[in-house]
């Protein structure tokens, strides 16, 4: 079956530090890959996505590249802000029938301190 593994948290960084949150996946087909973010007290929001190999998703200064050879989709940001403090979830879905089913990682809590 499908699975997503992401780095354990919590992660604590100083403002303007570089962020990497690792994510690797196992899937039987060619999935689409996603990063979701959950800010305190809110629901999960789609941060970025990539639908095929070598695609790069980007949003709000965050980037992730779909690496088929390493089955990875690592999240990066060059300079984090306090407002980036949240829980980040890596996820995948199979394309085609059943594509509404997302498989999530456990989430990584990020705290950014001034």
Q: Give the interface with other proteins as residue ranges (CB under 8 A).
A: 4, 32, 34, 36, 38, 41-46, 49, 89, 91, 93, 98-107
Cβ contacts of 52 within 8 Å, gap of 6 or more: 30, 66
- Least separation in angstroms between residue 101's CB and other proteins is 5
From start to end of 1-114, where are the E strands? 3-6, 11-14, 19-21, 23-26, 32-38, 44-50, 56-59, 62-65, 75-77, 86-93, 103-104, 108-113
In the complex, least distance from residue 60 CB atom to other proteins, rounded to whole angstroms? 15
Min separation Cβ 42 and other proteins, Å: 5
Nearer to other proteins, 17 or 72 (CB): 72
CB neighbours (10 Å) of residue 63? 17
Measured from the CB atom, the residue of 2 and 17 that comes closer to other proteins is 2
Q: Which CB, 98 or 114, lies closer to other proteins? A: 98
Confirm if 104 and 46 have CB atoms less than 8 A apart.
Answer: no
Q: Which residue, 46 or 113, is less far from other proteins as judged by CB?
A: 46
Write down the least CB distance from residue 21 to other proteins, Å. 14
């Amino acid at each position: 079956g499908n699975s997503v593994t992401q780095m354990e948290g919590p992660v604590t960084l100083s403002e303007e530090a570089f962020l990497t949150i690792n994510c690797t996946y196992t899937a039987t087909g060619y999935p689409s890959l996603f990063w979701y973010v959950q800010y305190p007290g809110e629901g999960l929001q789609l941060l970025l996505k990539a639908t095929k190999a070598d695609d790069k998703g980007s949003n709000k200064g965050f980037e992730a590249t779909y690496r088929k050879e390493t089955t990875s989709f690592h999240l990066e940001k060059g300079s984090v802000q306090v407002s980036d403090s949240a829980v980040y979830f890596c996820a995948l879905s199979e394309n085609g029938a059943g594509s509404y089913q997302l498989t999530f990682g456990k989430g990584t809590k990020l705290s950014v301190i001034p």
